[in-house]
Amino acid sequence: LTMASEALRLAAALPPQEALEPEFLFLGTGSAKPTSRRGQSAILVRLGTSLVLLDCGGGTWSQLVRLLGKEAAREAVDALDLVWISHHHADHCAGLPSLLSQRTVPGLQVVAPSAVRRFWVAAL
């Protein structure tokens, strides 16, 4: 966890004095076999003033709305600094187009393998 926290701090370019304990909101941990209670992979991480989404499986936007309410979910999506996609399998990136369609501000950095970019461009 310490190495992951440090990597996120560096990726978000936070000064060391702002790097606090990370907060995690598990939106989905069901991977390839989601259930009604476990969605596809997505973890929202707040680290200091940065908000990062780790993976964005199908249903990520719906889960944000379910847990935060529609207004707070939109605020969270607009506040995102970085979306990191681990690999191109749909259970890790299929929610990206619907999540991005909710965003109203520019400037989101998406870090992903090239196969994800091809999927994202085709879906939009």
pLDDT at residue 54, rounded to an integer? 94
Name which of 93, 71, 81 is nearest 47 in CA terms: 81
91 has catalytic annotation = yes
The contacts of residue 30 (CB under 8 Å, 6+ apart) are 38, 39, 40, 41
What does each of the 124 residues of the chain score in pLDDT, given as a tens digit?
A: 455 556 655 655 555 555 578 899 998 887 767 676 777 899 999 988 899 999 998 889 999 998 899 999 999 999 999 999 888 877 788 888 889 999 999 989 888 888 888 877 776 6
pLDDT at residue 9, rounded to an integer? 58
